[in-house]
Amino acid sequence: MSGLIGKKIGMTSIFDENGKNIPCTVIKAGPCVVTQVRTEETDGYEAVQLGFDDKTDKSATKAEVGHAKKAGTSVKSKVVEFQGFEEEYKLGDKITVEHFVEGEFVDVSGTSKGKGFQGVVKRHGFAGVGQATHGQHNRLRAPGSIGAASYPARVFKGMRMGGRMGGETVTVQNLRVLKVVPEKDLLVVKGAVPGHKNAYIIIRK
């Protein structure tokens, strides 16, 4: 689907016409530069590659510098391919936040915040085992049994246990666009999106 690359600014809330308080996320969406156009003849599929957020030539590879030079732009920190654009684009074209309109729904993808090693209560929503009575003192947030001993004599694959949490690609679907602010390249969507502040996110129609 067509879309843009953006950066999460943070969360706030706004009031609708009925006076209801709506939590929302502010995203700096674009402007994105077309850095490559994929075609059926040369690549076997059609897509538009967009670049967002300038990067210095010093911190870029020679390949990145050459790739950006072909499009007549500076090296970009984040490069993503999109399919499904209705408009025809060529190298160097800019796509702004006006690609979106208020009231439509978008899918937002990003990398969730890394939480490090977490137990089963936080990671999987376990209730914990038993009550803190009858001398029981250290099993409140334990996972309980993870399998039988003599048969099958092993722990089944996929058993939900403690482990690293977060740091994964997450997509939140059907977020309503509440506001588009073209002069500041801002997009306001209802609800929360994955990632920390200033994290790169991908907004798709």
pLDDT band per the 50, 70, 90 thresholds, residue 33: very high
* pLDDT tens by residue, 60-114: 899 989 988 888 888 999 999 999 888 888 888 899 998 999 999 999 999 999 9
Cβ contact 73:35 at 8 Å: yes
Cβ contact 68:57 at 8 Å: no
**Strand (E) or helix (H) holding 188:** strand 186-190
- CA 173 from centroid of its chain's CA atoms: 11
* pLDDT tens by residue, 5-26: 999 999 999 998 899 999 999 9
Task: Write the DSSP assignment of 115-179 as a string of letters.
Answer: -EEE-HHHHH----SS-S-TT--S-TT-----S-SSSS-SPPTT---SEEE--SEEEEEEEEEEE
pLDDT of residue 71: 87
Distance, CA of 169 to CA of 167 (rounded, Å): 7
- Dihedral pair phi/psi, residue 135, rounded to 5°: 80, -5
* pLDDT tens by residue, 121-168: 999 999 877 677 777 777 888 888 899 999 999 999 999 999 999 999
pLDDT band per the 50, 70, 90 thresholds, residue 4: very high
Looking at this protein, which amino acid is placed at residue 149? A
Q: Going from the N-terminus, what domains does the chain have, and what CATH number goes with each?
A: 3-115+168-204 (2.40.30.10), 116-165 (no CATH)
The C-alpha R_g of the chain, in whole angstroms, comes to 23
pLDDT of residue 130: 67
pLDDT of residue 81: 93
pTM above 0.85, yes or no: no
Sign of CA dihedral 84, 87, 92, 97: negative
Distance, CA of 165 to CA of 146 (rounded, Å): 19
pLDDT of residue 146: 92
**Strand (E) or helix (H) holding 69:** helix 62-70
Given a cut of 80, is residue 1 above it in pLDDT?
Answer: no
